[in-house]
Structure 1
Amino acid sequence: MLPSIEQRLALELSAKPAQVAAAVALLDEGATVPFIARYRKEATGGLDDIQLRLLEERLRYLRELEDRRASIIASITEQNKMTPALLQSIALAEDKTRLEDLYLPYKQKRRTKAQIAIEAGLAPLAEALLADPTLTPEEAAGAYLRDAFTNDDGGANPGVPDAKAALDGARQILMERFAEDATLLQSLRDYVREHGVVESKVVAGQEDAGEKFADYFDYSETLGTIPSHRALALMRGRREGVLDVVLRLDTESEKPKWDAPHNPCEGRICAAFGIKNNGRPADKWLADTARWTWRVKSFMYIETELMGALREKAELDAIGVFARNLKALLLAAPAGPRATMGLDPGLRTGVKVAVVDATGKVVDTATIYPHQPRNDWDGALHTLGQLAAKHNVSLISIGNGTASRETDKLAGDLIKQNQELKLQKIVVSEAGASVYSASEFASRELPDLDVSIRGAVSIARRLQDPLAELVKIDPKSIGVGQYQHDVSQTQLARSLDAVVEDCVNAVGVDVNTASSALLARVSGLSSSVAQGIVAYRDLKGAFASRAALKSVPRLGDKTFEQAAGFLRVMNGENPLDASAVHPESYPVVQKILLDTKRDMKNVIGDAALIKSLNPAKYADEKFGVPTVTDILKELEKPGRDPRPEFTTATFKEGVEAISDLRPDMILEGVVTNVAAFGAFVDIGVHQDGLVHISALSNTFVKDPHTVVKAGQVVKVKVLEVDPKRKRIALTMRLTDSAPQPGAKPEQRADRNDGKRLAQHQRQEKPAPAAGGAMAEAFAKLRK
């Protein structure tokens, strides 16, 4: 028998079965991954959140596998076809593919040609010709003729009118047997996986309509080497009717003729059933049967399966890219509680302005028209100056959509004219802001504001605290994915939700200021309980302690256990309520205070004292050394934020459009997206440039995520600019030189992959209108 699920997971995670069993038990009890990773280290032996997420995913798969195994065993047993050998093979099947191969001959299916032939009594003919190739097929077939008849179940059978019909029926029986042999099928699958070539051609007449897929009009690549972004591009091209995508063997560059020698797969079918070409009467008939099996059944089945597997792997890779980018964006450095002015740039519809105070509360709004067609530059500066002075604004957050550089210049003039205010301007990504503005949550949160102004509010708040604002938006709408609309939406949502949950709980949440959207991402809290916390807070006032949360309706002991450690009560009754120390561990802190003969205020933050303490001294059966160690770290820096320090990129003055770029120009920018082949960087010209993976570092880079992440400020040099196709090639190796005209840069083909992805991503997003992108979108919504 196979090892248990716990044993298999332990092997995959390089962990002990006891660790896995404990984690599985906690998950089954409803514990979340952040809670287990942080507060149940003794039980799991210190499994971290990455291991636990993998465990959770694989546990789901293996349990589905066991359910399917039981279902298959029941089905075959019910058909009275189970044998000890088959039962053992099913019991030892390690994955769903092997399981389905074994079940294939017993799977309930529509009445096949082979079944009709068996009903007509042709099975003995098929057996005879396979067992004795010295038989003459036509002569042997003559003994099996019969008239049309009706089966016992009422089904019509055409019978066997002549020898040709008899041999066709016998062939169908053997083809089905050959194609459903599990061992042979796996052998053929392995060969095609190693020697398969994916080939694409443009569909006749689609050359112009499918120009974005031009690189795949005549393309081929081995199945095992296609990177995820190219695989997804091929799938999209096929889905849109532009590309004809097929799988073939590397030995068959052209469609093989019928009388060609057997290919390696046809040869394997022959070898598996002892078919040889020795000049005997039935040898050619049997060889043709093997060829029919491969071309009509086995290859079509394997092609569908392997292309499906390629798509699934590409989707998983794409989801992984999205998840890593989302995590980097959510954990971007917050500017902190400072009064902020949000500017949602636009041309014809004006620039929407929202001022929020240090807590994110909207205190003022306006619409200004500094750009074409009104060009009220001075009036706009006057309005912004008044708002900044009135509300003590210290930060200006500018959305990076249409007219962002023009608005950035306006903010620059505002800063020069009001130097006493010490204003600072930052361009931020406005991805997803329009989705938030038109959402039901935004309607509840900002009911008195027009949807176009809500975008400016979101732009302001995401500078103060990116995590707190971005959790209000469906993760899929944040726009840092790779072909995100082409992947399994269920799998994508599950992965991204896990990322958001991990990020929120890693940072912690101030229970007295957090929105219900942010609270809903806290370990153990549902949307309804999160809304209940906000409603209770609005009715009763701020929570004075974590314990007070137990008064919230439907927030029971189990929920409190899961959530309390991640909720912060700032300036509350107990200083520990502002830390990541779980309330269940407060007795450990009391033990430390008694031992050191100090009060809480004198212990918290005293790094020298805390470093001198031995965690083992305060451990017991309930709280082991890992938990005590975490407690001491918290006492040293209570409520520490894992996010980096706040920094900003400064776009180069005078470089506002792609036409302003010149080769060898060194610029500062912000990484907007990281893909398998490189990183996209916003350098302030409304078109992201691509730093190919080969240009990220002076050393070899296998994974771009090890070098850069979304939101990171970087310096880049311009290598190439193609204004017509809106393509910008950048390098982070500042010693590189731009290629001379006519020279062919290294890895140009790979860079094209990135450019194609950039085009595809932008095509997935609504094209910005002439005015403010958000305002125009909302105008359409109102129609």
Structure 2
Amino acid sequence: MLPTIEQRLATELNCKAPQVAAAVTLLDEGATVPFIARYRKEVTGGLDDTQLRLLEERLRYLRELEERRAAIIASITEQNKMTPELLDAVLHAEDKTRLEDLYLPYKPKRRTKAQIAIEAGLAPLAESLLGNPALDPETEAGKYLRAPFESADGNNPGVADNKAALDGARQILMERFAEDATLLQSLREYVQEHGIVESKVVEGKQEEGEKFADYFDYTENLSSIPSHRALALLRGRREGMLDVTLRLDSEPEKPKWDAPHNPCESRIAARFGIRQAGRPADKWLCDTARWTWRVKSFMHLETELMGALREAAELSAINVFATNLKALLLAAPAGQRATMGLDPGLRTGVKVAVVDATGKVVDTAVIYPHQPKNDWHGALHTLGQLATKHKVSLISIGNGTASRETDKLAQELIKLYPEPKMNKIVVSEAGASVYSASEFASRELPDMDVSLRGSVSIARRLQDPLAELVKIDPKSIGVGQYQHDVSQTQLARSLDAVVEDCVNAVGVDVNTASVPLLTRVSGLSASVAQAIVNYRDSKGAFPNRAALKAVPRLGDKTFEQAAGFLRVMGGENPLDASAVHPESYPLVEKILRDINKDIKAVIGETSLIKTLQPAKYADEQFGVPTISDILKELEKPGRDPRPEFTTATFKDGVEEISDLRPDMILEGVVTNVAAFGAFVDIGVHQDGLVHISALSNTYVKDPHTVVKAGQVVKVKVLEVDAKRKRIALTMRLSDSAPVAGSNPQQRADRNDRRSMGQHSKQSAKAEPLGGSMAAAFAKLRS
């Protein structure tokens, strides 16, 4: 028998079956991955959140597989076609592809040409010619002529002549050959290894499809095509600009009918003992093998394998998005400091919002320092008054249209108003407009004009990126690659998991958190999160975690899942501000009694805590892993896993692409990471691309191992194409810019910028599918 789901998952996760079984039980009981990973280590044997997420995803797949297996067995049994051998094969099918291959001959289908031929009595003709090629096809066919007739399934044309008889017999054999599961798997494996993806521009679409120019005459091995190129090809096909096909590497040109069998046709012939030996039926049978490949098997495999390519590419793109999103959500917070948010604009003005240290909006304004009004001094005066009145510490500037001009304004503001001491930071404004028009924003800021809400979001995301970005649909945050081309259900599930993991890794202040933030806490639904806020608004701040039990609809199970991730800052019990779960409070009290100390004397005392031995306090309920976690938490209660807050300093005088020069070294912020490299904001309204080969002096397989979204990096300018708004950068500062005039083609990645969701308002508008530079990549490859 096939191993159980638990056994298969244990093998895939490289752990023991009991660990998997315990995790599956917890998931089925409604426990979340963050809760299991942090508070049930003894139960699962220490499975971490990455393993648990994979387990959760694979568990879903394997359960669907078992449901499909049961349905197939029932269907074949109902047809009275189940045999012991077939049942054994179905029971041992390890994946959905193998299962569907076995089911193919029994799958209910529309009345086929083969079925019509069988109704007409041509099955014996097909069997006799296959079994004895010495028979003469024409002579044998003459024995099966039949007038049209009515069958149980409808009208049958009968068998008018020898040609009709042989055509019908061929259809019967073709269907049998094409539905042979063993043969189909052999053909699939061959095409996977020897398949070539080929694309040509659709005639007459050269100008309209210019953005896909690199794929107008393109070939690449099916087995090696990277995800971003696969998605670009498939998008081009979907938009009607490209013809994308699959062929064998041995057939660059369409083969003729009288050519020798290709490797796949030879496999079909060999499987059924067909060979050219000069016998009367040999040619007819060889042609039948060829027809099977060209008309049935290849068309089936082309659809399936191109679909598999799309699924694999989508999964890769989703993983890139998830990794980037995690980096962005866990970016360093500036902290609780009064912040001014500037949403830059030209004709419509710069929208201004000031929020206090808690994120509460205390003032708003609209200024017009840029064209066409050019009220520079009036804008400075307004900002100066707001900064002085509210003791602004930080200025957060959106990175869209007019951001560098607005950055200049902020710089002059800081010089004119040295008190309060202010710092300015340019932040990504991706998703701010989505938030502005959202239902939550209308409830949170009901009396504020929609155009001003974006500046509030820009200010708050500097204070605490996680707390603000959870209010926005993750797909609108702009760190994806071909995000609109992938399965939206799978994308949403993956991104939701990332947000949940990030929120619970950091923890949430239950007395200040918004509904969207609370909704992402382990165990809390949107309705319960709203109930917590309503209760807080009517009863006041929660004095301790236990008080949460008074919230309507927040039962014991929900409290168990959520309590460890909710913080009560400055409350009655210092443990309520930590990640120690309330269920472990008795254990902490036991430790305190043993060392004769109170909790306030222990928290933060690293030297004391390091003398404690976790094994001494272990019992049936709490093992060494949990106790070790508790002691670490007592050392630094409520510690934030996010890094220290740092900012990039854009170079003065470098504000437009035209200001860039080769070999110029600049500081920038990574805005997005893709499979082929990283995009960096260097303050010129257009992100530059550091190709994967230019990220490090050593080989880099995955850019995410070197950089992440939000990271401050130093880069050197290699080449600038101002006309096409393309900037090639390198993080290998010893590299030199390519010599002018050298322009070898680096075709493969030129369209990759076009895959990215959004880098700035300008880049998105200028090149909705933009690309990296051939010359720069040629240099980087050397």
Q: For the superposition of Structure 1 and Structure 2, which TM-score range results when normalised by the shorter chain?
A: over 0.9
765 and 662 in structure 1: CA distance in 2 versus 1, 3 angstrom threshold: closer
**Matches of 1:312 and 1:225 in 2, distance apart?**
15
Matching of residues 236-315 of structure 1 within 5 Å: 236-315=235-314
**Matches of 1:645 and 1:615 in 2, distance apart?**
30
368 and 557 in structure 1: CA distance in 2 versus 1, 3 angstrom threshold: same
Aligned to 2:105: 105
Aligned to 1:364: 363
1:396 and 1:423 in contact (8 A); partners too: yes
What letter is aligned with 2:260?
P
Deviation at 1:765, TM superposition (A): 8.8
**Matches of 1:503 and 1:220 in 2, distance apart?**
41
629 and 345 in structure 1: CA distance in 2 versus 1, 3 angstrom threshold: same
Equivalent pairs counted in the alignment come to 767
Aligned to 1:757: 755
1:109-148 per-residue CA deviation (whole Å, 9 max, x = no partner) reads 0000000000000000000000000111011001101111
Deviation at 1:57, TM superposition (A): 0.2
1:607 and 1:636 in contact (8 A); partners too: yes
1:198 and 1:246 in contact (8 A); partners too: yes
1:483 and 1:761 in contact (8 A); partners too: no
Aligned to 1:138: 138
Deviation at 1:757, TM superposition (A): 3.2
Aligned to 2:164: 165
Deviation at 1:754, TM superposition (A): 3.3
What letter is aligned with 1:469?
E
Matching of residues 139-538 of structure 1 within 5 Å: 139-153=139-153, 155-538=154-537
1:692 and 1:751 in contact (8 A); partners too: no
Aligned to 1:691: 690
1:617-645 per-residue CA deviation (whole Å, 9 max, x = no partner) reads 11110010000000000000000000000
1:468 and 1:514 in contact (8 A); partners too: yes
2:148 and 2:157 in contact (8 A); partners too: yes
Deviation at 1:230, TM superposition (A): 0.1
1:680-734 per-residue CA deviation (whole Å, 9 max, x = no partner) reads 0000111100000110011111110000000000000000000011100000011
Aligned to 1:655: 654
1:215-270 per-residue CA deviation (whole Å, 9 max, x = no partner) reads 00000000011000000000000000000000000000011111111000000000
Aligned to 2:35: 35
Classify the secondary structure of the residue corresponding to 1:225: coil
341 and 763 in structure 1: CA distance in 2 versus 1, 3 angstrom threshold: closer
1:587-638 per-residue CA deviation (whole Å, 9 max, x = no partner) reads 1100111011011100000000000100011111001000000000000000
**Matches of 1:408 and 1:35 in 2, distance apart?**
43
What is the TM-score with the length of structure 1 in the denominator?
A: 0.97
**Matches of 1:200 and 1:706 in 2, distance apart?**
32
Classify the secondary structure of the residue corresponding to 1:348: coil
682 and 44 in structure 1: CA distance in 2 versus 1, 3 angstrom threshold: same
2:430 and 2:758 in contact (8 A); partners too: no
Asked if residue 2 in structure 1 is aligned to residue 12 in structure 2, the reply is no
- Structure 1, unmatched stretches of 5+, are 770-783
Classify the secondary structure of the residue corresponding to 2:353: strand
1:666 and 1:718 in contact (8 A); partners too: yes
Aligned to 1:11: 11
Aligned to 1:560: 559
Identity among equivalent positions (%) equals 82
Classify the secondary structure of the residue corresponding to 2:569: coil
Matching of residues 727-738 of structure 1 within 5 Å: 727-738=726-737
Aligned to 1:52: 52
What is the TM-score with the length of structure 2 in the denominator?
A: 0.97
Classify the secondary structure of the residue corresponding to 1:419: coil
Deviation at 1:749, TM superposition (A): 3.6
Deviation at 1:421, TM superposition (A): 1.3
2:580 and 2:633 in contact (8 A); partners too: yes
Matching of residues 73-92 of structure 1 within 5 Å: 73-92=73-92
760 and 557 in structure 1: CA distance in 2 versus 1, 3 angstrom threshold: closer
2:604 and 2:637 in contact (8 A); partners too: yes
1:402 and 1:768 in contact (8 A); partners too: no
765 and 524 in structure 1: CA distance in 2 versus 1, 3 angstrom threshold: farther
1:663-696 per-residue CA deviation (whole Å, 9 max, x = no partner) reads 0001110000000110000001111000001100
Aligned to 1:779: none
What letter is aligned with 1:421?
P
Deviation at 1:764, TM superposition (A): 12
**Matches of 1:754 and 1:304 in 2, distance apart?**
25
**Matches of 2:748 and 2:640 in 1, distance apart?**
38
Aligned to 1:773: none
Aligned to 1:781: none
Aligned to 2:772: none
Deviation at 1:744, TM superposition (A): 4.1
**Matches of 1:441 and 1:463 in 2, distance apart?**
19
Deviation at 1:547, TM superposition (A): 0.3
Classify the secondary structure of the residue corresponding to 1:365: strand
1:305-361 per-residue CA deviation (whole Å, 9 max, x = no partner) reads 000000000000000000000000000000000000000000000000000000000
2:401 and 2:761 in contact (8 A); partners too: no
2:126 and 2:173 in contact (8 A); partners too: yes
Aligned to 1:780: none
Deviation at 1:752, TM superposition (A): 1.9
Deviation at 1:767, TM superposition (A): 3.6
What letter is aligned with 2:697?
N
2:543 and 2:572 in contact (8 A); partners too: yes
Aligned to 1:777: none
**Matches of 1:455 and 1:624 in 2, distance apart?**
48
**Matches of 2:761 and 2:174 in 1, distance apart?**
46
1:229 and 1:314 in contact (8 A); partners too: yes
Aligned to 1:64: 64
Over the aligned positions, Cα root-mean-square deviation in angstroms equals: 1.3
2:397 and 2:458 in contact (8 A); partners too: yes
Classify the secondary structure of the residue corresponding to 2:446: coil
1:692 and 1:754 in contact (8 A); partners too: no
Classify the secondary structure of the residue corresponding to 2:419: helix
**Matches of 1:738 and 1:289 in 2, distance apart?**
60
Deviation at 1:758, TM superposition (A): 5.0
Classify the secondary structure of the residue corresponding to 2:750: helix
157 and 750 in structure 1: CA distance in 2 versus 1, 3 angstrom threshold: closer
Classify the secondary structure of the residue corresponding to 2:354: strand
**Matches of 1:758 and 1:575 in 2, distance apart?**
45
Asked if residue 570 in structure 1 is aligned to residue 565 in structure 2, the reply is no
What letter is aligned with 2:451?
S
Deviation at 1:740, TM superposition (A): 1.0
- Range with greater deviation from structure 2 (106-115 or 748-757): 748-757
- Range with greater deviation from structure 2 (276-285 or 752-761): 752-761
1:483 and 1:760 in contact (8 A); partners too: no
8 and 715 in structure 1: CA distance in 2 versus 1, 3 angstrom threshold: same
Classify the secondary structure of the residue corresponding to 2:348: coil
2:395 and 2:425 in contact (8 A); partners too: yes
Deviation at 1:152, TM superposition (A): 2.9
Aligned to 1:128: 128
